[in-house]
Chains A and B, each alone.
Chain A
Amino acid sequence: MKRILDLTLGIVTSIGGFLEAGSIITAVQAGAVFGYKLLWTIALGTLGLMLLVEQSGRLAAVTGRTVGDALRERFGINFFIIPLVTGLLVSFLVLASEIGGVSLALQMATGISFQWWAMPVAFAGWFLLWKGNFGVVEKGSSLLGLVTIVFIVAALKLHPDWGRVGAGLLPTSPDHDGPRYWYLAVSIIGASISPYLYMFYSSGAVEDGWGTDDLSTNKATAVIGMSFGGVLSAAVLIIAALVFLPRGIQVDRYEQAGLLLPPVLGHTGFVLFLASLGIACFGATTEITLAMAYLLAQGLGWDWSENAKPKQNARFSLMYTVTILLAGVVMAAGIDPLKLTNFSMMLTAASLPVTVIPMFVLMNDEALVGEHRNRWFSNAALGVLSIVTIVVLFSAVPLQILGGS
């Protein structure tokens, strides 16, 4: 019975915690310009994330090590410094864009500029991390994040041509604006497979004390939870395809994204959109901050635990405090949140090889995971994913130049 409860909770938190600024914005932009044609990238990204989440959970359950621990212990400090630095840099930019997302939602709700909201949002996030424990942080924002189901509701209400939706799940090349198409494709992959997500997941598994008997729950949570999440992103894209594309609205400001739901659900739709954006991004804010602090603390061997009081992990607490407030400052300074979101998604995508490829090694290391190492299927999938990430890495710079707005 407890297992079913755990599983349900796991799935629910995965759904509620899936969307964030990057996935929402890239899905909206993709739908607005290319209709259903980029749905396959959401599917691809979601599958990739599913793979990585399941494996990072399995790693934590079997070895008691998080991804951060394992990267340092298996590869040594010499290699670890690479995912550490890239992970922190990229995550910081994503974090700032998430704070931007919340701030923009508040701006659209109140009329007060997002720059004024940035620091209060950062403080609110900090407060939740400071006073809360891991369970509260993870489950709280994820349960509230279920408001994002409104996107599925709206998508269904629009009665899309499911045949054409299905066609969008097959990779096709664009019939116009090639660079922008591939730019968005890569960004969506970056938005779906954010490394902080699966690194955070393994830390959570260790915080919650997972063992080998949690492996099936882990697999089910990863598969079902992430699938639902992917469906959410797809729903956003579908709505944008049906609402923005016919009107020729290209989304290069958050305010335009706010026009997504009103045509379908009226004023309630607008309110729910703001709630979804704000809550989803806020959840991501706390998670990314924690993920960054986890990575640094675990890699250097500090005490780390969101369950413990800040006093017990002084360096860890200081790290996340400084990080979230600094990210708030970046937004308060007035960086364009949408541009930052797009850019950080691209950067995330480009940095994927650095964390994905080591997972390949970790999950096949018999000395590490023993009999729980990857079966041929996981390896094949992970191998394909690794190749995709390398291709993405090499295409990132040209695409940013050619396809970025």
Chain B
Amino acid sequence: MTARECRVELLIGRRVVDASGEVVGRLEEIVADYVDDEYVVREFHVGAFAALERLGTGIFGRSLLRLIGGGRIYTGYIVPWRHMDLSDPEHPRVTVAKSELRRIGETPGPRSSARPAAQRRSRRSA
């Protein structure tokens, strides 16, 4: 089985488009689970406001918006691993239409995006 490598820190912040070329947002977070001694990627979080996120990962974006809007203004999409095409790491693509993606706001969790799965900090979800 051939495996290729790709750099997470360069992926984060990249603009993500869906199957039809529509912009979904920018890749904000990669959520992984610790399964069978490996950190297996479960999903990618692509944020509508991730452009602001890029200003140093949230300096004005999410935090300030959350302060003002209490978490409701911020939205983003959850892209399960099987729907993310990373064959070109500089242009990540979602293999389905944007409308088919679950929004981050839909899943319960006060701090939306990155934290629900990453809440337990030890050893899991890197």
Contact = CB atoms under 8 A, between A and B. Distances in A.
Assess A/B contact in the complex (Cβ within 8 A).
yes
Interface of A: 74-76, 78-80, 82, 357-358, 361, 364-367, 379
Contact of A357 (B57, B58, B59, B67): B59
A91 B76 CA distance: 40
A62 to B, nearest CB: 15
Interface SS, A side: helix
Contacts of B57: 74-76, 78-79
B124 interface: no
Interface string B44-57: 00000000001111
Given A75-B58, A79-B55, A79-B57, A367 B63 contact: no
B91 interface: no
A79 B59 contact: yes
Contacts of B54: 78
Contacts of B67: 364, 379
B63 A361 contact: yes
Dominant SS among interface residues on chain B: loop
A228 B123 CA distance: 46
A55 to B, nearest CB: 15
Contact of A364 (B55, B56, B63, B115): B63
Interface in B20-41: none
Given A74-B58, A75-B58, A367-B115, 20 more contacts: A75-B56, A75-B57, A76-B56, A76-B57, A78-B54, A78-B56, A78-B57, A79-B56, A79-B57, A79-B59, A82-B56, A357-B59, A358-B59, A361-B59, A361-B60, A361-B63, A364-B63, A364-B67, A365-B63, A367-B111
B64 interface: yes
Contacts of B58: 74-75, 361
Residue among B56, B60, B64 with the most chain A CB within 10 A? B56
Contacts of A358: 59
State which size class the interface on B falls in.
10 to 19
A383 to B, nearest CB: 10
Interface string B90-122: 000000000000000000000100010000000
Contacts of B55: 79
B75 to A, nearest CB: 19
B14 to A, nearest CB: 13
A361 to B, nearest CB: 5
A75 B63 contact: no
Contacts of A365: 63
Contacts of A82: 56
17 contacts: A74-B57, A75-B56, A75-B57, A75-B59, A76-B57, A78-B54, A78-B56, A78-B57, A79-B57, A79-B59, A82-B56, A357-B59, A361-B59, A361-B60, A361-B64, A367-B111, A367-B115
A136 B50 CA distance: 46
Contacts of A379: 67
* Residue from A78, A82, A357 whose CB has the most chain B CB atoms within 10 Å: A78
Interface centre among A76, A80, A357, A364, by most chain B C-beta atoms within 10 angstroms, is A76
Contacts of B60: 361
B57 to A, nearest CB: 5
B25 to A, nearest CB: 18
A366 B63 CA distance: 10
B70 to A, nearest CB: 12
Nearest to B110: A366
A209 B62 CA distance: 31
Contacts of A79: 55-57, 59
9 closest A-B pairs by CB: A79-B56, A75-B56, A76-B57, A361-B63, A75-B57, A361-B59, A75-B59, A78-B56, A76-B56
A50 to B, nearest CB: 22
Interface in B54-83: 54-60, 63-64, 67
A366 B111 contact: yes
